[in-house]
Amino acid sequence: MKQVSIVTLGCSKNDVDSNQMRGILDEEKYRFTNSVTDAEVIVVNTCGFIDAAKEESIDTILDLARLKTEGKLETLLLAGCLAQRYPDELLESIPEADGIIGPGHIRSINDAIEGAYENKKPVYTDSIETDYIESFKRDEVSITEYVKISEGCNNRCTYCIIPYLKGNNISRPMEAIIDEIQNLVARGTREVILIAQNTTDYGIDLYGRYALVDLLKALRDIEELKWVRILYAYPDHFDDALIDEMRDNPKVLPYIDIPIQHASNNVLRAMNRKTDRKSIEQLIERLRLQIPHMAIRSTFLLGFPGETDDDFQEVMDFIENTPIDRAGAFAYSKEEGTPAADMEDQIADEIKGERVENFMAAQMLSSENLMEKHIGRTLEVLITEEGDGGYIGRSYLDAPDIDGIVTVQSEKVLEPGEFVYVEITEASAYDLGGIYIEHSK
């Protein structure tokens, strides 16, 4: 029996795809292992969104390829967005690579391994399949699990390659999502993170309406499900009904990730974003007005072609006047095959870097001010691990891996996976600290 390891790079959507591949492996032929040094088969699930992600993917592939001579590795397969985007180039330039599995062909994992062993160099990139995003078996279940509700994207932002790799939005049937979450909860999951390329577009292709609200309502009935967190909610279809459901649904955390990208209308138009600064400001105002202690996360793309000093200053003014709890900034990366790559007035890397640095410095001050307001509050915290002299956990403010943590001091022994109430006594720009009060029911 061959041992198979899957190495995942990029975003949380890739984590879901890797879990799918793991669940689909033929149990009579393959056994999964977390150890790449013990694996005869390695699948690298790559990211190809920006230059830095592509470089990381290539470096990882080359590093693992050496295991063909230094370890047990027999077959190296490349999956994910970079593999979908450059299949021929990767196979030609990296002779150790034995095949390609595009993100729309997760169900081909067994055939791809078999084809690779037959020296066929299989390539699965021709089309986007729709059935692979149905329910799948997970060998292991954690207290927190990501659940993908759709794939692809209907937007055509001029800087983004994703729709050209994954196609238009393809929503999963609501029944399949609910069934998957029920199974996860039955096996111990308590926090579910809903993800998609654009979660607010969920359902439009299946039901003729934006149906994220309907999905959230259905999740109310899953008794042991404690937290529902929503990522990648684009602002253009974020309506009052969704805000109301977030406010009234006890399982939905007062947390939202909204990719804003910019605050200058000139740049937003050039990006082909379907919103403007006023609409974004009004959305954030409604969220904060309707949902007490609302936590908002976002990302900004700086140095877009034609972005002037005045355009950048609008971003700086925006985060000063419309504070965001958590925000990251990325320098624009020129991606071949996108309209923005051919635009005039490309910004020098040095200027892009300075703008990202200035943004993050200002955002840190903004975040510090917002975080200090939590001192004195009692927050529910999910304990994740033991820390130095205490425990580490996450509150509703903290999506795993991308946000901060809560350090918890407790004389009582706490276990990972437990929910406890913590009195917040200290704050920094990204993290909180506090004292254990009691366990949450």
136: pLDDT strictly greater than 70: no
What would the pLDDT profile of 178-192 be if each residue is shown by its tens digit?
999 999 999 999 999
322: pLDDT strictly greater than 90: yes
* Type of residue at 343: M
208: pLDDT strictly greater than 80: yes
55: pLDDT strictly greater than 90: no
What would the pLDDT profile of 255-311 be if each residue is shown by its tens digit?
999 999 999 999 999 999 999 999 999 999 999 999 989 999 999 999 999 999 999
Residue 175: both structure tokens together: 């029944």
What would the pLDDT profile of 338-375 be if each residue is shown by its tens digit?
999 999 999 999 999 999 999 999 999 999 999 999 99
Lowest mean pLDDT among 90-94, 202-206, 236-240, 267-271: 90-94
What would the pLDDT profile of 325-347 be if each residue is shown by its tens digit?
999 999 999 888 899 999 999 99
Binding site as annotated, residues for [4Fe-4S] cluster: 11, 47, 81, 153, 157, 160
422: pLDDT strictly greater than 60: yes
pLDDT for res 20: 83
425: pLDDT strictly greater than 70: yes
Q: Give the pairing type, strands 252-257 and 227-230.
A: parallel
What would the pLDDT profile of 390-419 be if each residue is shown by its tens digit?
999 999 999 998 999 999 999 999 999 999
Burial profile 90-118: b = 16 or more Cβ within 10 angstroms, e = fewer: bbeeeebbbbbbbbbbbbbbebbbebbee
Query: Please, what are the domains in the chain?
Result: 2-124 (3.40.50.12160), 144-372 (3.80.30.20), 377-436 (2.40.50.140)
The sign one gets for the Cα dihedral 87, 305, 263, 358 is: positive
Burial profile 24-46: b = 16 or more Cβ within 10 angstroms, e = fewer: bbeeeebebbeebeebbbbbbbb
Mean pLDDT in residue range 180-207 = 95
Confidence of residue 45 (pLDDT cuts 50, 70, 90): very high
First to last CA, the chain: 44
Lowest mean pLDDT among 76-80, 105-109, 156-160: 105-109
pLDDT for res 133: 46
The sign one gets for the Cα dihedral 123, 127, 131, 132 is: positive
Contacts for 123 with CB less than 8 Å, ≥ 6 apart? 87, 91, 99, 100
Q: Among all chains, which residue has been given the structure tokens 């529910």?
A: 380
132: pLDDT strictly greater than 50: no
Residue 30: both structure tokens together: 């393959």
Binding site as annotated, residues: 11, 47, 81, 153, 157, 160
What would the pLDDT profile of 61-105 be if each residue is shown by its tens digit?
888 888 888 888 999 999 988 888 888 888 888 888 899 998 878
Contact 440, 378 (CB under 8 A): no
Residue 251: both structure tokens together: 């399982």
Average pLDDT score over the chain: 91
Q: Give the pairing type, strands 99-101 and 75-79.
A: parallel
242: pLDDT strictly greater than 50: yes
pLDDT for res 164: 82
6: pLDDT strictly greater than 50: yes
